Amino acid sequence: MTPEEVLKLVKENGVKIVDVKFTDLPGTWQHFSVPTHVLTEDTFTEGIPFDGSSIRGFQSINESDMLVIPDANTAFLDPFTAVPTLSLTCNIMHPGPAGNQKPYSRDPRYVAQKAAEYLRSSGIADTAFFGPEAEFYVFDNVRYASTDNKQYLEVDSVESQWNSAGSDGKSSLGHLMNVKGGYFPVAPSDTYQDIRTEMVLTLEALGIEVEAHHHEVGAAGQSEIDYRFGTLVETADKMLLYKYVVKNTARKYGKSATFMPKPVFGDNGSGMHTHQSLWKSEKPLFYDPDGYAGISQLAHYYIGGILTHAPALMALAAPSTNSYKRLVPGFEAPVNLVFSKGNRSAAVRIPLTENAKAKRIEFRSPDPTANPYLLFSALLMAGLDGIRREIDPVKNGYGPVDRDLYSMTAEELSEISSVPGSLDESLKALENDHAFLLEGGVFTSDLLEKYIELKSDQSDIVRLRPAPIEFALYYDA
């Protein structure tokens, strides 16, 4: 879509407000709105000024003048606003003459654009495709507090077995789900069919092609909607829109959707399994009918890069303290740094397909708290490093392991590397291993330093606060 076409869309649909969106360093959409008369063709080159000092991971107050430059290709009519509103995703720039503004090094979308360009310049491939599968929970109620004298949380779902005796004076109608019993049940157990369907239809109306939706394993309303893979920047853009639609549709029904990795103790966490493939001249590069699981040597090297750099990647793939309550060894979590065919207990799975165009690898350790622009870029850079250095995952002890890793003994698992056990460990790994991210100027030291600082502060916030379970364990010491 061109700027001229965007202005035509505004006029034809009686748009009153233009909402400009961008992504902060952790990966959350931010926005502000302007009347339609502010939007002209010049806006797409001159931008709109804003204060960047209060955005997480952005500028200090003495360097806070910044610009949003709308991307005309991202325009859509917001389905959740009362007043006709046009939404535009933006890049962040430093102020300067129109068309010559300096891109902002900590703009996650700019990082993704640089990663896509670096791939093209490498000569290895010209396109990287990504397909994330972000799971989420839908709750009927969520309450929490963290003050000097109170640490408290409670979530509720009408689907969960904990409501079998009724709650808050309400009766139970049965048809409830047991822990880990939420995969593919029909109604009346699955009460979210209509909500997910509305999410799907809204996504498709906004140009996101959906492949499937279903209830997930988590009994308390866990769900998944899979949308079709796309190029790096395009797919990251869609992930932010996907979250927006899921959360706001749930809110419309009086419910709350969360992409938090581990909101419920004892049940499945929410991951974001990320499928990846490289193409050149419209031909897939990961397929070889004679290779292990039908993958090429180039794909082997790509996997080698992912698994070699996995500890550092986890700072971007699982970037919350809550992430590591999902990634616990000994449970059904993708913590084992090996690759395998069709094996969901390995960190890297090769889906079983004989279709050359569908041949890809899946990294199963990420979760939806990841900033998709940074995560997809980092995965690509790790894979390219593996290709450039010819890192063979077999020779480096990363498999393949074609058995259920969850059933292996502790002694057997001791010979297999695992992802870090905490956010602090992952951040330390990123500090020690990030040269591959700096290649081609894709990531910058400035961005990584600020990211590590931001995430370390979050870790400190959690570490300093007592948790309710500690009272059960230690109060009578």
Catalytic residues: 51, 133, 135, 216, 224, 273, 344, 362, 364
Q: What six digits make up the tokens of 88?
A: 């535009």
- DSSP secondary structure, 310-375, as one string: HHHHHHHHS-STTHHHHS-TTSSSS-B--EEES-TTSSEEE-----GGG--EEE----TTS-HHHH
Q: Where are the beta strands (DSSP E) in 119-262?
A: 127-139, 141-147, 150-156, 210-215, 222-227, 230-231, 256-258
CA 75 – CA 185 distance, rounded (Å): 37
Report strand pairing: 348-350 vs 256-258: unpaired
Counting every residue written for the chain, the total comes to: 477
Look-up of token digits 């002890």 = 397
- Asked if 269 and 333 touch (Cβ cutoff 8 Å), the reply is yes
Strand partners, 361: 276
Q: What six digits make up the tokens of 268?
A: 């499945």
CA 239 – CA 136 distance, rounded (Å): 13
Q: Nearest to residue 276, comparing CAs of 223, 350, 220?
A: 350
CA 244 – CA 232 distance, rounded (Å): 19
CA 477 – CA 472 distance, rounded (Å): 10
Say what the alpha-carbon torsion angle 223, 226, 227, 233 is, to the nearest 10 degrees.
Answer: 90
CA 240 – CA 23 distance, rounded (Å): 9
